Amino acid sequence: MQTEIIAHRGASKYAPENTMHAFTKALEMQADAIETDVHLTKDNIPVLMHDERINRTSNGRGYIRDFTYEQLLQFDVGSWFAPKFADAKIITLDEFLSWIKQTNMRAHIELKNNKVDYDAIETIVYQHIKNHSMQERSTVSSFNFESIQRFQQMTESITLAYLTSNITKTKRQAFEKHPTNALHIKQTLLRKRLIRCSKQKNIPLRVFTINKISQMMRCYDLRIKGIFTDVPDVAVEARCNWMTRKD
Ligand code: G3P
Ligand code: MG
């Protein structure tokens, strides 16, 4: 088994995160998958951005949920990163799925509903995945465990993952009661006990965010299922070196 390389918000070290520029870069760099973050606009259109507000990654201000999709199109989501990306516009989940479907990459769709609990985001996202027949190539994740459980009740046809930066008693209990197909953890949680436990229970781990070669090599040695990285080119090269070394 080789560790899956997942471009975190696209190849986000090289182009503005969650834009087509970052996604096409990830494809060029031969990532196995792309991770992206989903919010709902005022008119319930799923769009891709990391933060709940557009302030950091656009030339506008305010919450995504307070703008219609049409209104969001007036903002430039690229020049905060570099002037040459000034043409970048916020993209919809629909546009992303139409594009990725034509590649051989997997889609890691993170519901960003741990701060704003968007009403019916699970049904809306599921419908989009189905419309593009991307059920087999998509994984849906969230820091909001209840949302993942709602998704679980709705369908068994999509792989689901809890996302977490810490392991609390409540989270452990939630996981035991409603296990998901995978667990996506912050790299500081990558300890022997958790690795052993995940192997015993046959629950793959994916780890975020891995940008250093030494961390990548450790994940490859541990046969971790996947790593989220801002630098897929570095991860692909490191994986080639790791494989050569292993032979
Ligand atoms: O899905 C892994 C990772 O994206 C979770 O953290 O904050 O980068 O969305 P964040
Ligand atoms: Mg994310």
Reported as a single tens digit per residue, the pLDDT across 161-218 is 999 999 999 998 988 899 889 999 999 999 998 999 898 989 999 999 999 999 999 9
For residue 186, the CA-to-ligand 2 centroid distance in Å is 11
- pLDDT over 80 (residue 157): yes
Strands 33-40 and 46-48: antiparallel
Q: Is the peptide bond before 209 cis (omega within 30 degrees of 0)?
A: yes
Q: Is 206 a pocket residue for ligand 1 (Cβ < 6 Å)? A: no
What the chain holds in terms of domains, given with CATH numbers, is 4-246 (3.20.20.190)
Note the ligand closest to the C-alpha atom of 163.
1
Residue of the nearest CA to atom 6 in ligand 1? 208
Q: Is 54 a pocket residue for ligand 1 (Cβ < 6 Å)? A: no
| Contact of 206 with 6, CB cutoff 8 Å | yes
Reported as a single tens digit per residue, the pLDDT across 62-103 is 999 999 999 999 999 999 999 999 999 999 999 999 999 999
Residue 186, burial from CB neighbour count under 10 angstroms (0-12, 13-18, 19+): middle
Q: What are phi and psi of 40, to 5 degrees?
A: -110, 140
Helix (DSSP H) and strand (DSSP E) numbers for the chain: 9, 9
- Provide the 8-state DSSP code for 144: -
The token duo for 165 is: 């930066």
Q: Which residues are catalytic?
A: 8, 50
Q: Which atom of ligand 1 is nearest to the CA of 9?
A: 4
Residue of the nearest CA to atom 2 in ligand 1? 208
Helix, strand, coil percent values for the chain (each to nearest 5): 40, 20, 40
For residue 105, the CA-to-ligand 2 centroid distance in Å is 17
Rounded to an integer, what distance in angstroms lies between the CA atom of residue 228 and that of residue 184? Answer: 9
Residue of the nearest CA to atom 5 in ligand 1? 208
pTM here is: 0.97
Note the ligand closest to the C-alpha atom of 206.
1
Helix (H) or strand (E) segment spanning residue 186: strand 182-186
Residue 155, burial from CB neighbour count under 10 angstroms (0-12, 13-18, 19+): middle
